[in-house]
Amino acid sequence: MAINSKENVKNSEASLTDMFKDLASHPVPKHARSYMFCFGGITFLLFLIQIITGILLAIYYKPTPELAYESVIFIEQDVWMGAAIRSIHNIAANLMVITVLAHMLRVIYTGSYKPPRQLNWIIGACLLIVVFAFCFTGYLLPWDQLGYWAAVIGTKIMGSIPWLGEKLLLLSQAGSKVTGYTLTRFYALHIVVLPVIAIFSMVIHFLMIRKQGISGGL
Exactly one of 54, 82, 124, 154 binds ligand HEM (CB under 6 A); that residue is 124
Residues 128-187 that bind ligand HEM (CB under 6 A): 128, 131
What's the closest the beta carbon of residue 138 comes to ligand HEM, in angstroms? 15
- How many residues belong to the site for ligand HEM (CB under 6 A)? 28
Exactly one of 69, 74, 113, 148 binds ligand HEM (CB under 6 A); that residue is 113
Interface mask toward ligand HEM for 187-216; x: CB under 6 A: ---------------x--x---x----xx-
> From CA 179, how far away is CA 216, in angstroms rounded?
50
Sign of CA dihedral 119, 120, 121, 123: positive
**Which distant-in-sequence residues (6+ apart) come within 8 Å of 166 by Cβ?**
159
Residues 37-66 that bind ligand HEM (CB under 6 A): 37, 39-41, 43-44, 47
Q: Decide: is 125 part of the binding site for ligand HEM (CB under 6 A).
A: yes
> From CA 189, how far away is CA 129, in angstroms rounded?
13
Residue 193's CB: how many other CB atoms inside 10 A?
A: 14
**Taking the mean position of all CA atoms in its chain, how far away is CA 80?**
26
Report phi then psi at 110, rounded to 5: -90, 5
Environment class of 7 (CB within 10 Å of its CB; exposed 0-12, middle 13-18, buried 19+)? exposed
- Closest-CB residue for ligand HEM? 124
- Residues near ligand HEM (CB under 6 A) are 37, 39-41, 43-44, 47, 100, 103-104, 106-107, 110, 112-113, 117, 120-121, 124-125, 127-128, 131, 202, 205, 209, 214-215
